Amino acid sequence: MRLNELHDNPGATKKRKRVGRGVGSGMGKTGGRGIKGQKSRSGVAIKGFEGGQMPIYQRLPKRGFNNINSKTHAVVNLGLIQKFVDAGKIDAKAAITEESLVASGLVRRIKDGVRVLAKGEITSKLNITVTGASKAAVEAVEKAGGSLTVTKAVAAE
């Protein structure tokens, strides 16, 4: 193979469309902009404009509010934790913390903490320490012989 024999795969590169370069090009004269009017000119930005009429986003009433104190938790189900333990991604004998859940790949990011929910079955004896957990999740872990510790006062619902 030589340098002069190198080339892209067929269809990998495409020629740039040159707009407004004569009628014969197929994109000449108006350059694909139709005819006349404000939108055919350059430098036009009229996204929410309704011709001077009050735009719909201003006519409609606003509802509700955004709570600045709300917390967003990363949610983990017990069934998924059990699946990761069975796969060997989480060590069942060591204490399972939020950091170990991130390291195993079960949780992408901690956000305001990790909350454990009771969906799925758990069979291993696990020692879990997280920010929050549902009552059913705490009962399920204790029934399996483990312990689920909630670190903050966000505990059960």
Q: What is the DSSP string of 13-68?
A: --PPP--SS-GGGSS-TTTTS-SSSGGGSSS---SS-BTTBPPHHHHSPP-----T
pLDDT value of position 81: 92
pLDDT value of position 118: 92
Domain ranges of the chain: 74-150
Pairing of strands 114-117, 132-133: parallel
**153 near 133, Cβ under 8 Å?**
no
Give the mean model confidence (pLDDT) for residues 94-109. 91
Mean pLDDT of the chain: 89
Whether residue 155 has pLDDT greater than 60: no
Whether residue 137 has pLDDT greater than 80: yes
Q: Which of 44-48, 70-74, 128-132 has the lowest mean pLDDT?
A: 44-48
Task: List residues bridging with 53 in a β-sheet.
Answer: 50
* Distances 33 to 25, 40, 44, 70, 152 between C-alpha atoms, Å: 15, 5, 12, 47, 60
pLDDT value of position 50: 86
pLDDT value of position 153: 54
Please give the share of the chain, as a percent, with pLDDT higher than 70.
96
Determine the 3-state secondary structure of 142 from DSSP.
helix
pLDDT value of position 13: 94
**What are the tens digits of pLDDT across the range 8-30?**
999 999 999 999 999 999 999 99
**What are the tens digits of pLDDT across the range 4-13?**
999 999 999 9
- Fold classification of 74-150 is Ribosomal Protein L15; Chain: K; domain 2 (3.100.10)
Instruction: Work out the pLDDT band at 140, boundaries 50, 70, 90.
Output: very high
pTM, rounded to two decimals: 0.57
**What are the tens digits of pLDDT across the range 54-63?**
999 999 999 9
Instruction: Quote the CA–CA distance of 117 and 140 in Å, as a whole number.
Output: 10
**90 near 128, Cβ under 8 Å?**
no
